[in-house]
């Protein structure tokens, strides 16, 4: 199949997505509609929105390539963690309580929730700035992964692919907001689910690989098929200050970051706010769990198969003077493994679908950080909803532009960008969010201490430890505040009773700090 046919199919797909955006724009009347779909989404849409946001081009291109080559079949631990902890347990533990509490507090964003839960407006502003700053590199990593795939399959230059994807995201999202994202996610989720199964089956049954059973036995028996288990150094070169962690510790850190990290990522938690009712949560949990299992398995298993396709060494075209070009492994594997053209097109659409969903959610959450949380902290967003909606749409375009700027610089390894983003955001939000849902004794002093420790860890450890220490730094950044917040809360003044009562449903509406 020629590249012109690939491009035509992608263009047709884009026109369908834009049509959905336009249709949804006509139904979007308020800020709540734009950001949460009016809290009217059923279990299928909510579950698919969660799953498609979770798994993007970063997974299929960056993670599958770098970690699949580095850890081989042992990436199945990531599959297990992402499915059971990152999806099933997250929905079981967090979804119902999050939806109930955000309704009581009339909060539609993570920073707005923290402000109302702890009765402190500066907390909302700080949280909003953190969201905007740390989601920009993550969205840039999604753009990078998808652009590398377009470069190698559609023969569009990396820069032109970036410009195209940036413009598409801005136009599509500005039109319809979260409702457009949710409707599109349902369609995209079907494409992704089918595409990932086709991809992993066909790649596993290449003549040099031999099928699932034979491939798995080869990967388990060959120690060279998991060089990353020997040392983190096998996954990249760091600075002289870098920490060389044991391979098992690096893998464990990656499991923890990618599994517990989504518990507090604003773009993931948003899906709990928007679900229609508590009754839909159990069904959404099952749907999201099955979706995550297949998506994670398909991506990581395909990445592990690269060892059986290339042998112990990567080909010269995937090497640079500084080492392997990790972000090009999976696009090269897909396009050179002899798959029929129509199936390559299915895989391209699958990764395209996953990435557009993640990117849309990232842009929406980040633009809200300024339009709803910074602006709304000082001006009542309910007083002039049209102005807030206009600001949201403008900021969507601004955020995409910032992401484009970073992606054009081609920073080292999209995997590192994602881990740094997830680790930093989880370091700031995981402890205040989870303790805020379940523990009435959490204090404002404890929350500020946890945020300070999370930010300090992020800036210090990511700077000092270099590329090799990123996973371990991310895990420490995420979990240390979970210890700090309760310890400081026990020795600092309690929150006013009316603030706690408003959050846990024993009082009236949320107080205005």
Cα dihedral 289, 295, 296, 298 sign: positive
Centre a 10 Å sphere on the Cβ of residue 114 and count the other Cβ atoms it contains.
26
In a domain, 107, yes or no: yes
Per-residue pLDDT at 279: 79
C-alpha 392 chain-centroid distance? 21
H helix or E strand, kind and range, residue 182: helix 158-204
Over pLDDT 70: what percentage of the chain? 75
Per-residue pLDDT at 384: 61
Instruction: Phi first, then psi: give them for residue 442, nearest 5 degrees.
Output: -60, 130
Structure tokens at 246: 């044991």
Per-residue pLDDT at 411: 61
In a domain, 361, yes or no: yes
Number of domains comprising the chain: 1
Instruction: Phi first, then psi: give them for residue 439, nearest 5 degrees.
Output: -120, 110
Report how far residue 469's alpha carbon sits from residue 461's, in angstroms, rounded to the nearest whole number: 8
Report how far residue 188's alpha carbon sits from residue 185's, in angstroms, rounded to the nearest whole number: 5
Per-residue pLDDT at 483: 96
DSSP 8-state code for residue 462: H
Per-residue pLDDT at 345: 74
Highest mean pLDDT among 35-44, 184-193, 259-268: 259-268
Q: Strands (DSSP E) along 95-135, which ranges?
A: none
Least confident piece of the model among 26-35, 217-226, 300-309, 347-356? 26-35
Domain that holds residue 189: 3-413
Report how far residue 157's alpha carbon sits from residue 177's, in angstroms, rounded to the nearest whole number: 29
In a domain, 350, yes or no: yes
* pLDDT mean over 37-60: 72
Q: pLDDT tens digits, residue range 64-107?
A: 888 888 888 999 999 999 999 999 999 999 998 998 898 899 88
Asked if residue 221 has pLDDT above 70, the reply is: yes
Per-residue pLDDT at 496: 94
The 10 Å CB-count burial string (b at 16+, else e) for 179-191 is bbbbbbbbbbbeb
| Nearest Cα to Cα of residue 487 among 460, 438, 447, 440 | 447
Q: pLDDT tens digits, residue range 464-484?
A: 776 667 788 889 999 999 999
Asked if residue 509 has pLDDT above 90, the reply is: no
Please report which confidence band the pLDDT of residue 35 belongs to, taking 50, 70 and 90 as the band edges.
very low
Cα dihedral 270, 253, 284, 190 sign: positive
Asked if residue 36 has pLDDT above 60, the reply is: no
* pLDDT mean over 313-331: 81
In a domain, 496, yes or no: no
How much is the mean pLDDT over the chain?
78
Least confident piece of the model among 214-228, 371-385, 420-434? 371-385
Per-residue pLDDT at 239: 43
H helix or E strand, kind and range, residue 320: strand 319-320
In a domain, 186, yes or no: yes
List the Cα angle 399/354/96 in 5-degree steps: 85
Domain of 266, CATH number, reads: 1.20.1730.10
29 three-class SS = coil
In a domain, 454, yes or no: no
* pLDDT mean over 259-284: 84
Please report which confidence band the pLDDT of residue 507 belongs to, taking 50, 70 and 90 as the band edges.
very low
In a domain, 200, yes or no: yes
Q: pLDDT tens digits, residue range 285-321?
A: 999 999 999 889 988 988 888 888 887 788 888 888 8
Instruction: Phi first, then psi: give them for residue 41, nearest 5 degrees.
Output: -80, 135
The answer for residues whose C-beta is within 8 angstroms of residue 239's C-beta and 6 or more apart is 466, 467
The 10 Å CB-count burial string (b at 16+, else e) for 55-89 is bbbbbbbbbbbbbbbbbbbbbbbbbbbbbebbbbb
Look at strands 319-320 and 323-324 and give their pairing: antiparallel
Least confident piece of the model among 48-57, 372-381, 416-425, 474-483? 372-381
In a domain, 487, yes or no: no
């Amino acid at each position: 199949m020629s590249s012109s046919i690939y491009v035509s199919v992608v263009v047709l797909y884009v026109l369908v997505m834009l049509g959905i955006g336009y249709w949804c724009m006509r139904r979007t009347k308020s800020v709540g509609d734009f950001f949460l779909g009016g809290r009217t989404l059923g279990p299928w849409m909510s579950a698919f929105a969660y799953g498609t946001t979770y798994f993007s081009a970063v997974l299929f291109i960056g993670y599958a390539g770098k970690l699949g080559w580095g850890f081989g079949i042992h990436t199945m631990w990531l599959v297990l963690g992402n499915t059971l902890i990152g999806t099933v347990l997250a929905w079981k533990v967090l979804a119902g309580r999050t939806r109930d509490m955000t309704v009581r507090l009339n909060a539609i964003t993570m920073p707005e929730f923290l402000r109302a839960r702890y009765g402190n407006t500066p907390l909302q502003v700080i949280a909003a700035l953190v969201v905007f700053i740390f989601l920009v590199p993550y969205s840039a990593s999604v753009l990078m992964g998808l652009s590398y795939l377009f470069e190698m399959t559609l023969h569009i230059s990396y820069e032109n692919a970036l410009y195209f994807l940036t413009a598409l995201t801005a136009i599509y999202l500005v039109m319809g907001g979260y409702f457009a994202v949710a409707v599109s996610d349902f369609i995209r989720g079907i494409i992704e689910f089918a595409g990932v199964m086709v991809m992993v089956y066909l790649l596993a049954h290449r003549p040099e690989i031999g099928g699932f059973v034979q491939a798995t036995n080869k990967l388990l028996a060959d120690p060279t098929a998991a060089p990353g288990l020997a040392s983190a150094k096998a996954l990249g070169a760091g600075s002289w200050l870098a920490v060389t962690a044991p391979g098992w510790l690096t893998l464990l850190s990656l499991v923890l970051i990618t599994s517990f990290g989504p518990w507090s990522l604003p773009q993931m938690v948003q899906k709990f706010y928007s679900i229609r009712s508590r009754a839909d949560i159990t069904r959404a949990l099952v749907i999201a769990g099955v979706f995550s299992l297949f998506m994670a398995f398909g991506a990581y298993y395909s990445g592990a198969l690269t060892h059986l396709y290339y042998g112990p060494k990567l080909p010269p075209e995937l090497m640079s003077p500084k080492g392997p070009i990790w972000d090009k492994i999976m696009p090269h594997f897909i396009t050179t493994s002899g798959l029929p053209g129509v199936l390559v097109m299915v895989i391209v659409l699958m990764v395209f679908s996953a990435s557009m969903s993640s990117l849309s959610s990232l842009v929406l959450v980040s633009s809200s950080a300024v339009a709803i949380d910074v602006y709304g902290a000082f001006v009542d967003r309910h007083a002039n909803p049209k102005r807030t909606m206009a600001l949201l749409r403008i900021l969507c375009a601004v955020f995409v532009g910032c992401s484009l700027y970073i992606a054009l610089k081609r920073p080292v390894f999209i995997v590192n960008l994602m881990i740094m983003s997830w680790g930093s955001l989880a370091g700031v939000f995981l402890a205040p969010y989870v303790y805020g849902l379940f523990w009435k004794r959490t204090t404002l002093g404890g929350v500020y201490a946890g945020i300070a420790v999370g930010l300090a860890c992020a800036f210090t450890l990511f700077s000092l430890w270099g590329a090799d220490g990123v996973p371990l730094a991310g895990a420490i950044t995420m979990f240390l505040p979970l210890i700090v917040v309760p310890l400081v809360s026990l020795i600092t003044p309690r929150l006013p009773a009316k603030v706690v009562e408003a959050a846990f449903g024993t009082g009236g509406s949320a107080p205005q700090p």
